[in-house]
Chains A and B, each alone.
Chain A
Amino acid sequence: MQTFANPTRFLKLSDRLLPWAGALTLIAFAGGLYLALVEAPQDYQQGETVRIMFVHVPAAWLALLVYSFMALAHSTAIVLRHPLADVAAKAAAPLGASFAFLALATGSLWGKPMWGTWWQWGDARLTSMFVLFLLYLGYLATWEAISDPMRGARIAAIVAIVGFINVPIVKFSVDWWSTLHQPASVLRLGGPTIHSSLLLPLMAMAVAYGMLFIWLWLIGMKAEILKRRVRHMQIAAAGKA
């Protein structure tokens, strides 16, 4: 990991990886959408509505994974002083926020026909997921509000690491409390409980979402490194003038 601590080396590596990541993302989405919309059968209870799961569940998984990644990246920056760790967390945040928003929006679109309601404040899973979305917004607002990247990184690290407490709450809320939201059916001890004809498209879409994250995260990292270079050059030019 320390090999890519050098921003110039990271930029060279990302230039090599970006075309591949972009192509793999498109292929993964083409395959995933075909399985989700064409191959997957209707559910005997939910009917066609089950197809919402193929965009809702990967978005929710990614929202949780990305936040965990951000907390880990900031911890790495604090402990190992890795110069790109803060950049990695910052580049991941808008992606995670979008996934959290999609998990809430598509979940609501599933809830209306299945539960008869768009939203239920008393439900622990829904509310903790909404808190995760707010944490993402707070994290992004922190970076926006502080122009100095070093200071911004310190405060953003606090938001990310403290906010990480919410991640296991989201994950285990369906086990700890009696909720409207159904319990875990894929990532659980004892293995998945859903049929392989629905599990396969779900996993394919999860891979597509994961690839999209990697591709856009690499672009975001590269953009953030260049932004910092521009800032340094502008400060240096202003100092000379």
Chain B
Amino acid sequence: MSAAVDGELSSTEEQQFLSHLTKCKECTEEFDEAKKTKLIIKERVVRFKAPLSLVNSIMQLTSLSQRETV
């Protein structure tokens, strides 16, 4: 089921799964629920910004190595 939600089935597996869905109401419901849940996580979990101090130090990382060799 998860594999179907995440697009991890092969094309034959997917076909089999989809045809099963047309016959099985329970599975269809569950599939929809799982997809919804995945969407919520994807869209609703906030993404934090990396703090500038971190950005700066990472950018300096490669420049720093330059200076070290000088």
Query: Are A and B interaction partners?
Result: no
